[in-house]
């Protein structure tokens, strides 16, 4: 009977040794995995700290930008509220497509605005044109710059070349 008990004890010791080895191996694996997860957690904590710092910096920058925007809007309102005075030094260049000297009639100022991309130029040009009436002067300019080509011809106003006159707006 002692032999049976001895064999049983040896079998149990072998089984215990095998199971213990497996449990120790599993414990080492779980401990290594826990160490790796703790390292990851530390990295994520550092990312979180960095994100908090960046968020605070962004809030500070946003506050500065909002203050600058408010200042710029105030400047814009102030400038918009100021009356606009024409610059007395600004000279108007006139385009002429025929001789003014020697023609009969009054010299007229006609503004032409190129309003479409089809026109060869953009913006407003000022023309000095002679004619008996304002309509005749306007028609002469309109013949050169028709509306279907993207031009808007303004009203003809008498032009005194010796004195400055305000430009007539197209339309």
- Predicted pLDDT at 56: 97
- Is pLDDT at 169 greater than 90 in this prediction? no
- Predicted pLDDT at 165: 47
Residue carrying the six token digits 């009969």: 104
Instruction: Report the mean per-residue pLDDT for the chain.
Output: 85
Of the pLDDT bands very low, low, confident and very high (cuts 50, 70, 90), residue 33 is: very high
pTM (global) more than 0.85: no
Does 164 or 79 have the greater pLDDT score?
79
Backbone torsions φ then ψ of 92, nearest 5 degrees: -100, 130
- Predicted pLDDT at 101: 61
Q: How far apart, in whole angstroms, are the C-alpha atoms of residue 160 and residue 157?
A: 10
Q: Is 150 buried (19+), middle (13-18) or exposed (0-12) by CB count in 10 A?
A: middle
């Amino acid at each position: 009977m002692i032999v049976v008990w001895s064999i049983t004890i040896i079998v149990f010791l072998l089984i215990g040794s095998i199971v213990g080895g497996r449990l120790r191996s599993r414990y080492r694996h779980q401990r290594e995995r826990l160490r790796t997860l703790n390292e990851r957690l530390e990295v994520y904590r550092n990312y979180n700290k960095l994100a908090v710092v960046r968020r605070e910096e962004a809030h500070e920058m946003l506050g500065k930008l909002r203050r600058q925007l408010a200042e710029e809007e105030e400047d814009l309102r102030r400038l918009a509220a100021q009356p606009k005075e024409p610059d007395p030094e600004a000279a108007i260049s006139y385009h002429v497509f025929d001789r003014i000297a020697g023609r009969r009639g009054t010299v007229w100022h006609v503004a032409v605005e190129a309003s479409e991309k089809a026109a060869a130029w953009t913006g407003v040009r000022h023309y000095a044109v002679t004619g008996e009436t304002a309509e005749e002067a306007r028609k002469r300019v309109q013949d050169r710059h028709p509306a279907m080509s993207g031009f808007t011809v303004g009203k003809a106003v008498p032009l005194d070349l010796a004195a400055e006159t305000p430009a007539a707006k197209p339309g």
